[in-house]
C-alpha cells in the first residue's frame, strides 16, 4: 500500500513517522535513519535540519517525490541508489545501479595500501572508483590506474574522479589482460566473491550481478587473477586482495602454489579476515 498524499502539506515529523513505520513493517534495516536520509535528500537539506524543524511543512510536490522513494525503498531498492550517494573513506561518491555500492569493509583494502604504498598502483575491478580515487587523493605522489570490465561502471568512476578533483587513469580491461609485465608495483583488487547460491539480502539483487557473484563457489576470480598478477608484478611487487568471509582457504592455497611470500591477513572490525596481502618473490 502506497503512502497517501495529504490534501494539505504534511509536516516533517508526520512524514518521518509514516515512513519509519512502513519500513519497520517491511523489515527494512534502520527504518528511522532510512526515512530521515530519504526526506533530507528530497528536501535538499542535512538531516540535522529535520531534527531542528520537525514542524516544517512538506509541500505536495516534495510529498509526491517522497512517496515514490519510500515505495521503492520499501520494495527493497537500496537507499544509496535512491539518493545516488554513498560515503567512502569520509568522501561522498556517486553510485548508480551500474556499480556495486562501496562497503565500509573495503576501507581496510585502502588502509592496507596506505600502510605500504607504491609509486605505480593498479586498482582492479574499480566499480564506482571508490578505492582508486581514494588512493589517488591520499597518495598524490603515486600514479593510480583503475580498471573494470564494465564501461558503464567506468563512466561512474570517472564522474567521481572529476567531482573530487583528482587524476586517475581509467582502463576498460578484463582483469589484468590489458597490462604488461612491470606496469605496476602494487595491485589492489576487490573482485566479485559471493557464491552463486548464497543467501543474500534482497537489496543485493538490485546491484550488478557481475560485480557481486564470483562463480559457483565464489572464489573462482582469484584462481584467475593471482597467476596473472604473478606474471605482471616484478619481484617485490605487492598484491592485496579483498576476500569474502569463506574465501580465505582457497585464496591462500592459490598464493602458496605460486611465487608469493607467505600471505598475511587483515581482519575487519568483526574479526573476519578481509584483506590478504602477499609479495611477489
Sorted by where each starts, the structural domains of the chain and their CATH numbers stand as 10-75 (1.10.8.10), 96-279 (3.40.50.150)
- In this structure, are residues 240 and 221 in contact, taking their beta carbons and an 8 Å threshold? no
At residue 1, the pLDDT reads 46
Q: Which among 230, 231, 223, 238 is positioned nearest to 275, based on CA atoms? A: 238
Confidence of residue 17 (pLDDT cuts 50, 70, 90): very high
Instruction: Give 180's contacts (C-beta < 8 A, 6+ positions apart).
Output: 232
> Is the pLDDT reported for residue 9 higher than 70?
no
> Residue 3: pLDDT band by 50, 70, 90 thresholds?
low
Beta carbons within 8 Å of 105's beta carbon, 6+ residues apart: 242, 268, 274
Q: What is the pLDDT of residues 201-243, one digit of tens each?
A: 889 999 999 999 999 999 999 999 999 999 999 999 999 999 9
Nearest one of 259, 122, 102, 95 to 180, comparing CA atoms: 122
Judged by average pLDDT, the poorest of 8-22, 38-52, 106-120, 220-234 is 8-22
Query: Residue 113: what pLDDT?
Result: 98
Residue 52 has pLDDT above 90, yes or no: yes
Identify the pLDDT of residue 6. 46
Q: What are the cell numbers at 104?
A: 565500509
Going by pLDDT thresholds of 50, 70 and 90, the confidence category of residue 19 is very high
Report the chain's mean pLDDT, rounded to a whole number.
Answer: 94
Alpha carbon distance 28, 38 (integer Å) = 13
Euclidean distance between CA atoms 112 and 146, whole angstroms: 17
- Per-residue model confidence (pLDDT) at position 5: 46
279 Cβ contact list (under 8 Å, min separation 6): 236, 237, 238, 239, 260, 261
The phi and psi torsions of 13 (rounded to 5 degrees) equal -60, -45
- Residue in 179, 168, 172, 173 with CA at minimum distance from that of residue 144: 168
pLDDT of residue 197: 85
Is 204 exposed, middle or buried (CB count within 10 Å of its CB: 0-12, 13-18, 19+)? middle
Over 50: is that where the pLDDT of 88 sits?
yes
Q: What is the pTM for the complete model shown? A: 0.93
Residue 245 pLDDT: 85
Provide mean pLDDT across the span 180-193: 96
Task: Note the pLDDT of residue 198.
Answer: 87
Q: Is 201 within 8 Å of 179 (Cβ atoms)?
A: no
Express as a percent the part of the chain with pLDDT over 70.
97
159-182 pLDDT, tens digit each: 999 999 999 999 999 999 999 999
| Non-local CB neighbours of 40 within 8 Å, separated by 6+ positions | 46, 47, 49, 50
Three-state DSSP state, 71:
helix
Q: Which residues contact 278 (CB under 8 A, 6 or more apart)?
A: 238, 239, 255, 260, 261, 262, 263, 264
Amino acid at each position: 500500500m502506497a503512502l497517501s498524499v495529504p490534501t494539505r502539506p504534511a509536516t516533517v515529523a508526520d512524514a518521518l513517522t509514516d515512513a519509519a513505520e512502513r519500513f519497520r513493517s517491511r523489515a527494512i534495516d534502520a527504518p528511522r535513519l532510512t526515512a530521515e536520509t530519504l526526506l533530507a535528500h528530497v528536501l535538499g537539506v542535512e538531516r540535522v535540519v529535520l531534527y531542528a524543524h520537525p514542524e516544517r511543512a512538506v509541500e505536495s510536490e516534495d510529498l509526491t517525490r517522497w512517496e515514490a522513494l519510500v515505495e521503492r525503498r520499501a520494495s527493497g531498492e537500496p537507499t544509496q541508489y535512491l539518493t545516488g550517494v554513498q560515503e567512502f573513506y569520509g568522501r561522498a561518491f556517486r553510485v548508480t545501479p551500474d556499480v556495486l555500492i562501496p562497503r565500509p569493509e573495503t576501507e581496510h583494502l585502502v588502509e592496507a595500501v596506505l600502510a605500504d604504498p607504491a609509486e605505480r598502483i593498479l586498482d582492479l575491478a574499480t566499480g564506482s572508483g571508490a578505492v582508486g580515487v581514494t588512493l589517488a587523493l591520499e597518495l598524490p605522489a603515486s600514479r593510480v590506474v583503475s580498471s573494470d570490465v564494465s564501461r558503464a561502471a567506468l563512466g561512474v568512476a570517472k564522474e567521481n574522479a572529476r567531482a573530487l578533483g583528482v587524476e586517475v587513469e581509467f582502463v576498460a580491461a578484463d582483469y589484468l589482460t590489458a597490462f604488461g609485465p612491470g606496469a605496476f608495483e602494487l595491485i589492489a583488487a576487490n573482485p566479485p566473491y559471493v557464491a552463486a547460491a548464497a543467501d543474500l539480502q534482497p537489496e543485493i539483487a538490485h546491484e550488478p550481478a557481475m560485480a557481486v557473484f564470483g562463480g559457483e563457489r565464489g572464489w573462482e576470480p582469484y584462481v584467475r587473477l593471482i597467476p596473472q598478477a604473478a606474471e605482471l608484478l616484478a619481484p617485490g611487487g605487492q598484491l592485496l586482495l579483498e576476500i569474502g568471509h569463506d574465501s580465505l582457504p582457497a585464496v591462500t592455497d592459490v598464493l602458496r602454489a605460486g611465487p608469493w611470500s607467505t600471505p598475511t591477513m587483515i581482519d575487519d572490525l568483526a574479526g573476519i579476515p578481509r584483506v590478504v596481502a602477499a609479495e611477489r618473490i
